[in-house]
Amino acid sequence: MLHVDLTGRTAVVTGGTRGVGAGIARELLAAGADVVVVGRRAPAALPGAAGRTARFAALDVRDPAAAEAFTAGLDRLDILVNNAGGTPFLPAADGDARTHAKIVELNLLAPLIMARAARPRMLATAGGGAIVMVGSVSGVRPSPGTAAYGAAKAGLANLTASLAVEWAPDIRVNTVTLGMVRTESSHLHYGDEDGVAAVARTVPLGRLAEPADVGRVCAFLASGLAAYVTGSTLLLHGGGERPAFLDAATVNKENA
């Protein structure tokens, strides 16, 4: 039976200290990779799996010089997962322009900075490398209240497609486009357990994704099982969101 084996590979996961990033780090560890998680602050506990623990490196992924120094200091680099990102709820007309620019910087420019920094180290490694971008359904549908974030994630998918062509055949680049994921911060978005359950009922598969679901897909895309996969976007959203017209049609039918 085919299985993901990343033994001997070194993987870097940005924003890998908690939430989705920690789930990705754990699945890469379980597949045999040596994992370095990066963030601006050291976590209370590092992700672990299969009896091993990820290493931590302090890094601002928006700083090109720091990113280049970090990757140059690695013994090898086979896998980069650009997971760091996020946004507050901020309608486009609210806040100052710099805040919106920072959202784009974190969610689009930082992945480009990290990918550029990783490229020389990957090219120096036998077999090249694999980059996985973590996108969002906010980049493929309207994103009211998080317009800058949605625009950045839309740009991330295009960045993936472009880098996949420019850097082939040595480096494969793909995107995992996420729907809703249940993490330790879910209550900030969906409320208590009843709120999470109500949101889960809107997903065709009946639940939110777990960080491990995301991690397993990233491990697959980074592995030899995906050796002919590049420039692709994989939707990981449990079937997506129920179209609003179906609810409207149900209401109209009931009122008929």
Report the C-alpha gap between 122 and 225 in whole angstroms. Answer: 19
Residue 2 lies in a domain: no
| Amino acid code (one letter) for 15 | G
What's the pLDDT score for residue 93? Answer: 97
Report the C-alpha gap between 51 and 30 in whole angstroms. Answer: 9
Report the C-alpha gap between 136 and 18 in whole angstroms. Answer: 18
Catalytic residue chosen out of the listed positions 10, 81, 136, 149: 149
Report the C-alpha gap between 122 and 130 in whole angstroms. Answer: 8
- CATH number for the domain that contains residue 24: 3.40.50.720
Tens digit of each residue's pLDDT, the chain (256 residues): 568 999 999 999 999 999 999 999 999 999 999 999 999 999 999 999 999 999 999 999 999 999 999 999 999 999 999 999 999 999 999 999 999 999 999 999 999 999 999 999 999 998 899 999 999 999 999 999 999 999 999 999 999 999 999 999 999 999 999 988 877 666 556 667 777 788 888 888 989 989 999 999 999 999 999 999 999 999 999 898 877 787 777 665 555 5
pLDDT digits (tens, 9 = 90+) for 168-199: 999 999 999 998 887 766 655 666 777 778 88
pTM of the predicted structure, to 2 decimals: 0.92
Q: Name the residue range of residue 35's domain.
A: 10-255
Q: How many domains, the chain?
A: 1
Residue 3 lies in a domain: no
Residue 5 lies in a domain: no
| 228 annotated active-site | no
Residue 226 and residue 5 in contact, taking contact as beta carbons nearer than 8 Å = no
Give the 3-state secondary structure percentages of the chain, helix then strand then coil, rounded to 5. Answer: 45, 20, 40
Residue 238 and residue 209 in contact, taking contact as beta carbons nearer than 8 Å = yes
